[in-house]
Amino acid sequence: MPWAVFLPIPLLLLLLVSLSRGPSYPPLPLLSNGTHTFHPTTLVVSLDGFRPSYLSSHAAQLPHLRTLAKEGVYGEMTPVFPTLTFPNHWSMLTGLYPSSHGIVANHFYRPGEGEFNYGSPETSWQGHWWRGEPAWSVAERHGRKALNFMW
């Protein structure tokens, strides 16, 4: 067998190793609030059952939320189907539809795996239910700090 047949193998291995490292990101710039330095921060606020029109129809009751929307980035979420809290939040965090990430309701039964109930640690803490990688995991994998509150 000619040696040229084996030449692509090291090139393929080199390509696979370079791809497995993931992209490199430049260092984050430091910001200052006058007393402390900090890195840029992303804050995601998701309000379950909150209609976007409330920002205008109930403006007097929501001054701080309106300021966040006005001075930051604001977007309306188009619900995925089914329009339930848990499948929508997991879709928002992974970028996947329920048919791909597997969380299709707040409570469901999957043949061969059993019953899932988001309120039950006995089932919801089992990793086999969760498909996809949430945003905080991606951030940490790339050397960024991440924090979840009330997830």
pTM of the model: 0.67
Task: Return the sign of the alpha-carbon dihedral for residues 11, 12, 13, 17.
Answer: positive
The pLDDT tens digits along the chain (151 residues) read 454 444 455 544 444 444 555 556 677 788 898 999 988 888 788 887 888 889 889 999 999 988 988 888 888 778 888 888 889 989 999 999 999 999 999 888 888 888 988 888 888 888 888 899 999 899 888 888 888 876 6
* Active site amino acids: 85
Could you write out the DSSP letters of every residue in 1-43? --GGGGTHHHHHHHHHHHHHT----PPPPPEE-SS-EE-----
Q: What is the pLDDT of residue 11?
A: 47
